[in-house]
Amino acid sequence: VDEKSHIETSNKEIILIVQFETKEAVDNLDEILKLEEIDVVFIGAADLSQSLGFPGEYNNPIVKNTIKEAIEKIVNSGKAAGVVASSPDSIKYWIELGVKFITCHQTVILSEALGNFVDSFNKVISD
């Protein structure tokens, strides 16, 4: 494949994800969303909650509203909004808000898998 074809294919198939985690980024979100090259805007809720003055308080009305309003702007711009889902229930909430890019913490996955394994192991040895 020649370089020009490679670049064209890469531009079509590779997505550009930006992550914002500060009040300053929220304040500049409209300008950020004008950048055509961006495909996904990922919201870093932990750092954002801290930047807003409420570290780790994801259910704080200011934090929750800021994230909700940001998602609305992102979705309305035609870009995909991204977040971390902390539980299966939260996935439904994010999808209902229009989020298309959902990740989760590997520690959540690993601890749930380990818990299931331990439960299975205990069942086997107790029988």
* pLDDT (0 to 100) of residue 127: 79
Q: Supply the DSSP symbol for 43.
A: E
- DSSP one-letter string for 49-89: HHHTT-TT-TTSHHHHHHHHHHHHHHHHTTSEEEEEESSHH
Q: Which domain holds residue 30?
A: 3-126
Q: What is the pLDDT of residues 10-24, one digit of tens each?
A: 888 899 999 999 999
* pLDDT (0 to 100) of residue 5: 92
* pLDDT (0 to 100) of residue 11: 82
Kindly report the pTM of this predicted structure.
0.78
With a pLDDT cut of 70, the percent of the chain lying above it is 100
DSSP reduced 3-state for 84: strand
CB 18 within 8 A of CB 12: no
CATH of the domain at 63: 3.20.20.60
Q: Supply the DSSP symbol for 22.
A: S
Taking 50 as the pLDDT cut, the residues of the chain under it are none
What crossing angle do the helices spanning 61-76 and 88-97 adopt, rounded to 10°? 50
What are the φ and ψ backbone dihedral angles of 117, each rounded to 5 degrees?
-65, -45
* pLDDT (0 to 100) of residue 15: 93
* pLDDT (0 to 100) of residue 26: 96
* pLDDT (0 to 100) of residue 87: 81
Counted domains in the chain: 1
